Amino acid sequence: MSIIQNRTIGMIGGIAPPSTIDYYQKIIKGFQEKTQSNQYPSILINSINMTKMLDFVFKKDLSGLVEYLNKEIQKLVDGGADFAFLASNTPHIVFDQLQEKSKIPLISIVNATAQTAQHRGAKKLGLFGLKSTMQAGFYQTGFASKNIEIVLPPIDSQEFIHEKYLSELVKGIFLADTKNALIEIVNGMIKKDAIDGLILGGTELPFILHEKDFTDFELLNTTDIHIESILNYALKK
């Protein structure tokens, strides 16, 4: 049996733990499907302190965030990673600055999702995530280049999503009442804003919202889209 070679994947994980596990399992499954083998990819995982990372974000200390994440990426470099990714949407607020500093390529969840949305013909998409993800503008900028409009939920709904994300979703808690409230927000945006899809801009959101919850409405699972881009790069000749 010949061993399948791949670029060593570096993951900045722990932001949050449930999605890190999801990434890890899906990368392995996707690797085996793409290579039609029972082999496993080379992956390094640096599970970082989410509380520390979010503290930089909520204090809007972006230079501190860049410095912190760059040091954590360097640990992956030192371990032999050929490229890396952030297993979370929120830290992409400083993705461009990190890519400039990083000694290895970084795979962007925003760029991958924008390309997929354009390929699927999206024109106007809703965005769910932490307030920093919804409001910082990095999704809006990334999608503007594809001529896709980003629509945010009403302010009170943004507060609700943010609070439930931190108090429940990142802890692996997925409640029916929260799910129903999120579905109601989406349906309100479909009616009011005529969105043709929703970006799950938080890697825990796919655990609670699914396409079967809606009729003829597309959810963009940023985790799955990101993983496809990661595997394509890992296996690129």
38-73 confidence digits (pLDDT tens):
999 999 999 999 999 999 999 999 999 999 999 999
pLDDT of residue 237: 75
Structure pTM?
Answer: 0.94
What percent of the chain clears pLDDT 90, i.e. is strictly above it? 96
Got the DSSP string for the chain? Answer: -PPPP-PPEEEEE-SSHHHHHHHHHHHHHHHHHHHTSS----EEEEE--HHHHHHHHHTT-HHHHHHHHHHHHHHHHHHT-SEEEESSSGGGGGHHHHHHH-SS-EE-HHHHHHHHHHHTT--EEEEES-HHHHHSSHHHHHHHTTT-EEEPPPHHHHHHHHHHHHHTGGGT---HHHHHHHHHHHHHHHHHH--SEEEE-STTGGGT--GGGSSS-EEEEHHHHHHHHHHHHHH--
Q: How far apart are CA 11 and CA 73, in angstroms?
A: 8
The CATH class that applies to domain 9-108+225-235 reads alpha beta
Per the model's pLDDT, the better-predicted residue between 6 and 104 turns out to be: 104
pLDDT in tens, 92-103: 999 999 999 999
Residues 125-156 have pLDDT tens digits of 999 999 999 999 999 999 999 999 999 999 99
- pLDDT of res. 4: 85
Q: What is the mean predicted confidence (pLDDT) over 155-175? A: 97
CATH architecture type of domain 110-221: 3-Layer(aba) Sandwich (3.40)
Residue 117 has pLDDT above 80, yes or no: yes
| pLDDT number for residue 102 | 97
Q: pLDDT tens digits for 2-29?
A: 788 899 999 999 999 999 999 999 999 9
Can you give the pLDDT at residue 5?
Answer: 80
Q: What are φ and ψ of residue 136, in 5° steps?
A: -70, -25
> Cβ(152)–Cβ(158) under 8 Å?
yes
Determine the pLDDT at residue 3.
84
Determine the Cα–Cα distance for residues 165 and 167; give it in Å rounded to an integer.
6
Rounded Cα–Cα distance for residues 136 and 193 (Å):
20
The structural domains of the chain, with segments of one domain joined by +, span 9-108+225-235, 110-221
Q: What is the pLDDT of residue 1?
A: 67
Q: Do domains 9-108+225-235 and 110-221 have the same CATH topology?
A: yes
Task: Give the torsion through C-alpha atoms of 90, 165, 182, 85, to 10 deg.
Answer: 30
Please give the pLDDT value at position 112.
98
Supply 236's token pair. 């690129």
